[in-house]
């Protein structure tokens, strides 16, 4: 398969400087795609006009309808055999497109592939470095035979994408529309491969508010609903058994810590729980240490444990919401 059969599709809403870097990285690619399709999803900062200056085909939504709808709109006019979806806040490497093409060429039975964030995130503040490095780590330890799709860097055969009906447009925000598509692809018997050597750089600047909002409302709650609806809970990525056990340990630590104010002797139990958490998550802490050093790793601990806390809370509330809505529909 030639690289010229790849159509790149990018949804953008007020992409700013990160989108400029995204388009520049595409311009600097060693090989050219057949086309670059940008869907300006109700943007007000001129992102659509900027994309036109870079030679992209630009489609426009008058109001923001979400990345799922925007990607589907771009895919509807794409001419390439492979649709490569990337986000407006990532940059590709010069050899990214060649690697995508090579994988599809060498594995004719492959339906879709996803890449990985690199280990050099674009935003330099601590939270962005932690968040994006953690995402990179999860990709690098995950199974190559993937159970999900990924909109930030995901390629799929156009005819299969159209056959499956594309992304679920009921997701109106950047959410789990890519995960949901991956679940449908697997249920239909299609292969998805995680290509750990295909990297993109994430430029997003995370703050505590944006991270908690995205993880809880746009990931944990809808993903829980999807898990129950599909009855599918793979032991992979963020859903590994070690992560599930860590959630239980974090809640146990919280309960023991509260009890410790009245019963000081239980602090021994707290120490044991902390030791268990450190041991269970030693691989990721070793990864942080190797990449950014001891002090950085130490700073990740409260954020990592907070992640387990709100992930568990999201799963519990999402499960409750799912069963309540199901009973209401059955009534």
Question: pLDDT value at position 324?
Answer: 87
pLDDT at 201: 97
Residues whose CB is less than 8 angstroms from the CB of residue 121 and which lie 6 or more positions away in sequence, other chains included: 128, 129, 131, 132, 133, 201, 202, 203
Taking only the tens place, the pLDDT of each residue in 10-47 is 999 999 999 999 999 999 999 899 999 999 999 899 99
**CA–CA separation, 77 vs 83, rounded Å?**
11
pLDDT in tens, 155-176: 999 999 999 999 999 998 888 9
Output the pLDDT for position 263: 74
Lowest mean pLDDT among 60-74, 184-198, 215-229: 215-229
pLDDT surpasses 70 at 74: yes
- Tell me what the pLDDT averaged over the chain comes to: 91
Please answer whether residues 92 and 158 qualify as being in contact, where contact means their C-beta atoms are separated by less than 8 angstroms.
no
Question: Does position 265 have pLDDT exceeding 80, yes or no?
Answer: no
Phi/psi at 141 (5° precision)? -100, -5
φ/ψ (deg, to 5) at 138: -60, -35
Q: Contact, 195 vs 88, CB < 8 A?
A: no
Write down the CATH number for the domain with range 3-205. Answer: 3.90.550.10
Q: What percent of the chain has pLDDT over 70?
A: 95
Q: pLDDT value at position 172?
A: 86
Nearest to 123 by CA among 16, 34, 32, 253: 16
- Supply the pLDDT for residue 173: 84
pTM of the model: 0.90
User: For residues 61 and 42, is the Cβ–Cβ distance under 8 A?
Assistant: yes
- Residue 249 confidence (pLDDT): 94
DSSP structure string for 59-115: EEESS---HHHHHHHHHHH--SSEEEEE-TTEEE-TTHHHHHHHHHHH-TT--EEEE
Average pLDDT over residues 294-314: 95
Q: Which two tokens stand for residue 159?
A: 């005819």
Give Dmax over CA atoms of the chain in angstroms.
Answer: 69
pLDDT in tens, 198-243: 999 999 999 999 999 999 999 888 888 888 888 766 654 556 778 8
For residue range 88-145, what is the model confidence (pLDDT) as tens digits? 999 999 999 999 999 999 999 999 999 999 999 999 999 999 999 999 999 999 999 9
Are the C-beta atoms of 70 and 39 separated by less than 8 Å? yes
Domain ranges for the chain, please list them: 3-205, 237-330
Return the H-helix or E-strand segment holding 248: helix 241-259
The yes-or-no verdict on residue 67 having pLDDT over 90 is yes
């Amino acid at each position: 398969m030639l690289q010229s059969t790849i159509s790149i599709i990018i949804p953008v809403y007020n992409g700013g400087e990160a989108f400029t870097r995204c388009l520049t990285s595409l311009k600097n690619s060693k090989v050219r795609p057949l086309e670059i399709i940008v869907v300006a999803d109700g943007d007000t900062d001129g992102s659509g006009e900027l994309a036109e200056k870079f030679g992209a085909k630009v489609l426009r939504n008058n109001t923001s309808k979400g990345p799922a709808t925007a990607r589907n709109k771009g895919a509807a006019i794409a001419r390439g055999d492979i649709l490569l979806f990337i986000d407006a806040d990532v940059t590709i490497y010069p050899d990214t497109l060649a690697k995508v093409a090579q994988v599809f060429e060498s594995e004719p039975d492959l339906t879709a592939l996803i890449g990985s964030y690199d280990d050099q995130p674009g935003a330099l503040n601590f939270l962005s470095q932690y968040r994006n490095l953690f995402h990179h780590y999860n990709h690098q330890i995950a199974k190559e035979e993937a159970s999900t799709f990924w909109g930030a860097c995901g390629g799929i055969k156009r005819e299969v994408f159209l056959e499956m009906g594309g992304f679920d447009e009921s997701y109106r925000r950047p959410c789990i529309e890519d995960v949901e598509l991956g679940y449908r692809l697997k249920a239909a018997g299609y292969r998805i491969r995680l290509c750990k050597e295909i990297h993109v750089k994430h430029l997003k600047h995370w703050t505590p508010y944006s991270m908690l909002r995205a993880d809880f409302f746009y990931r944990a709650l809808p993903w829980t609903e999807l898990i129950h609806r599909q009855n599918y809970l793979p032991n992979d990525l963020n859903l590994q058994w070690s992560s599930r056990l860590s959630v239980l340990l974090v809640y146990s630590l919280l309960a023991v810590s509260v009890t410790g104010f009245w019963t000081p002797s239980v602090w021994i139990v707290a120490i044991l729980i902390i030791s268990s958490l450190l041991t269970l998550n030693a691989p990721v802490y070793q990864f942080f240490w190797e990449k950014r050093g001891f002090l950085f790793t130490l700073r990740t601990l409260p954020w990592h444990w907070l992640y387990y806390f709100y992930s568990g809370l999201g799963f519990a509330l999402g499960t409750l919401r799912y069963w309540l809505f199901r009973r209401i529909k059955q009534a």
